[in-house]
A and B are shown apart, each in its own frame.
Chain A
């Protein structure tokens, strides 16, 4: 492909990464809430994007529809006796110590929850056959309640799909306009609550996402469009419109894919070991890649489980917009409340009145007030005054107060990084910290030191790495189905599993409309456990490969949980198949070696507070002028269009061929020799 554009729509900015031949053009513009697809179309024209350029799109339409409860008028049809499965959930309350707790309103209120008289047994037999007459009455009720979208989830349908499919056929004929989502299509796995919630989420966001994608297609003309999914791969528009539940957690996925592929290139390895930290305005996303992009199906969105594969990411409420305050006990707290994009930090001058992490960075001299992200300017004086007020409550000066704000925000992020590393059995010292998002590279050194991390990578375009990740993503589709058989039974007689894999493979190839590369995995557990681990299964299915898979399970269990029990029976719960078509995977431009000294990238000095002992002169560099093999030592600041990086004292920076900055720490550099 000659031209490729990654478009990542975020809450504040829409990021464009436009690759034309060997040129990468980066553009940010405020997200239009009014008419987003039209705004995107205009930007492409302004950037001069060709009429045949391929577009890879990351959208939060599905996410926002769900979180803000702005989805379709949705109805639910379930087995008689189980009308309330969606509300009962797992019967735990969200907060342990709150007397007043509210749940967000249910996606399907009681008056739109219907039941059908039908029942399958736990081996898939029809105990009560579905009678079609009753569907006419249900169709009438659906019409009366004005349902736009319907989820159909019957008990044990993952063992026998005939009732769900027949119900859909009859209802669709009676109500041709109704959008219908079947649990056997969305998530044919066992556990009725998780399956119901996931299917209902799909039904709930489908009409809105469908309309959005239609408008987008109109605005983009002939250009082919791919949409990012939660799993870090892309799908084409029709599939995205049909199964939008697969897009709900796509927001942070692009960043991890971007960090991973940039690291593969930078460190010349297929399996980089990285800790990613994506610091945005309201929150920070962290992930640990142990040689691969981590996946999970155990997701929660708002208060609902969403059991479709996604990139495994941990999010904490600390970002540039997190609000600092002194509580009644005299302690400085930062977040989780955020000033968001509007009014935003005080220094944005859009009416914000509460001190944020960004204000603190500005007062410390770590941001350039005249050239902030995407060419904005910042109001230093008002931020300074606010920090002075915060400082007076803490009996210290404004800069010392600002240092405190940064330190507390870092403590929250450090805990998040520990959560994905130490607590999962991984030593952070074995990983490279890849720091991105507008604010990430400002905090990277202090976090690395706290965790004992020896190496940091700051990508060439930290502020738009998610959009870069879009360009790098493969085209993928996941499908799964329930198995629920002991491995001891499957090993000598793998035929049923062979058939499942073949059928899922056909489903995946049809979805991707191409010769996909097929991989498989099994969700396994020790008999009696109620959670599973996903273990790769080599194809074709054979007794030998199943045995290897089971052995892999024991090892994974040992790594994750500290023990394994090779003599206990292993049960296969779910089989997963993933189809992959290689994405565009363009080579990012490589920079020629420096033909001028690093001093030419120096833009001067700034007075920066690095510690409470006062401001010091810190050399500043322009990222645009930094060339491959340039090297310099901290303390230093690096300014660029979409981000700012702080290289702390004791760290050595070196620019690589992709123009990433790689930092090493003195103390560890010695140890490496």
Chain B
């Protein structure tokens, strides 16, 4: 593939050029997107792939998209016989290149004359794709309850919209106008990516562009392998678990093997698929492992296929981290991906005790509150809460932040109270919830809601029964806790980590999020 040695200056210049293309696609998507998920929570990713489906550059926002974008591109390549300029393929099927249904991916070819040169790929979290509950993150038991399933199909053919397909999709979602707008935004991002890639090849010549795309992948692979080669070889095992309302605690088991500048994560032995929305498809599991490895790299290695090549992820089909149809996967993205990350870090901590941090809060504490407001209008409010980050050999963990696979913003209390019939009684750090150690884990958060009108509350949270672990003798962080104090009552009742409940005006829901694990035995 590489006929010549890369020029070390041009390599750096092309790093900026390709990263610039992905970044401009991302900015376009954000500028033109409709839903708050895209515009404010930045829940999207944009990438450029080569004609063989290997990633050239990705504008990184969301760790859970790291590996999953590649799976999408390759699923689309498998499903497509011929490409024409102006084609855009759409998909969200977790079992054919997607990760969960709200994430809709689009893939389009870039041509130079008759030659297919690159693919532009975008993925955005759409606020609703139908299914049994608004927001499409239901407490489901099979995929069919989670929304419309779109296998890789062409939404545009040679620039012409497939209107029938679009009508079918839009008829299956709760907010069709917003979906339409977000899909248009994705198309706009493709147009920008294509324009920039064509301009680059016109200015510098296609052969040079293609050569440097490969050179960059080789460079990232070289850098990643060189870093892994410094890790102690061997096989390291770890296990961690999820918490089901039934009391069950399905286990995720991983064996990490470091050898010859590469690392393999083998999830053989993980518990089978569960009848809850906490299974993950293999690309999500891969993303979690890629994220883990990326956290252990020094410097900023350009994100492309080369970073992924030294990392192998194995999981037998039918286990909960390699779900098979029709297992439910809606929450796998938000909660299980955190536990996979914990398990993989737990294994590598044995090889890299000075680099790996103790477990963070390991959950996103998803809260949904819905009811009728003062004017009798229905409302639905969704938020996620931060917690403690794990401590490491170098420092304590940050307090009150999102960890690992999530990094979204909170809603200001003043904004919340002006818009919804609720009052926040307390929003503060949860003192001493971080695990003790030479370095202390970060503290969790306390958030107490007082409902001003009756409402239904749904909570999806983890680490309520099993605490985030410490490392090297550091103590675990405090477990999270959800409690309810009914109007007029003085005593707080304990609640489970996952529940749906109808509450009355004056009821107070208090959520205390987990602290991060501590690092090092304190004498």
Contact = CB atoms under 8 A, between A and B. Distances in A.
B24 A423 contact: yes
Contacts of B423: 121-122
Interface stretch (A230-238, A306-314, A328-336, A490-498): A328-336
A332 B400 contact: no
A636 interface: no
Contacts of B424: 81
Interface in A1-15: none
Contacts of B24: 418, 422-423
Contacts of B392: 99-100
Secondary structure at the A interface, as helix, strand, loop or mixed, is loop
Contact of B401 (A91, A100, A331, A403): A91
Contacts of B258: none
B427 A85 contact: yes
A96 interface: yes
B112 interface: no
A528 B178 CA distance: 13
Interface in B284-315: 291, 294-297, 299, 301
B260 to A, nearest CB: 18
A88 B402 contact: no
B226 interface: yes
B399 A193 contact: no
B426 interface: yes
B188 interface: yes
Interface in B58-75: 60-61, 63
A81 B427 contact: yes
Given A91-B385, A407-B9, A100 B31 contact: no
Contacts, number: 167
A563 B428 CA distance: 39
A423 B386 CA distance: 31
Interface string B412-439: 1111011000011111110000000000
A412 B399 CA distance: 33
Contacts of A99: 295-296, 355-357, 390, 392
A83 interface: yes
Given A408-B12, A423-B24, A561-B32, A96 B412 contact: no
A103 B442 CA distance: 12
B27 interface: yes
Given A91-B400, A99-B295, A411-B12, A83 B428 contact: yes
B389 A101 contact: yes
A469 to B, nearest CB: 29
A91 B295 contact: no
A90 interface: yes
Name which of B9, B23, B36 has the most chain A CB atoms within 10 A of its CB.
Answer: B9
B412 A87 contact: no
Given A331-B219, A332-B9, A97 B427 contact: no
Contacts of B28: 562
A331 B413 contact: no
Name which of A90, A99, A414 has the most chain B CB atoms within 10 A of its CB.
Answer: A99
B245 interface: no
B429 A329 contact: no
B259 to A, nearest CB: 21
Contact of B9 (A81, A329, A408, A561): A408
B174 interface: no
B32 A562 contact: yes
A191 B295 contact: no
Interface in B463-510: none
Interface of B: 8-9, 11-13, 15-17, 20, 23-24, 27-28, 31-32, 36, 39-40, 60-61, 63, 181, 185, 188, 219, 222-223, 226, 291, 294-297, 299, 301, 355-357, 385-386, 389-390, 392, 394-395, 398-403, 407-415, 417-418, 423-429, 445, 448
The 4 A-B pairs with the shortest beta carbon distances in the complex, nearest first, are: A404-B9, A91-B386, A562-B32, A81-B426
Interface of A: 81-85, 87-93, 96-103, 121-122, 155-156, 190-194, 326-334, 394, 403-404, 407-408, 411-412, 414-415, 418, 422-423, 425, 484, 528-531, 560-563
10 contacts: A81-B424, A84-B427, A87-B399, A87-B400, A91-B400, A92-B401, A96-B60, A99-B356, A101-B395, A529-B36
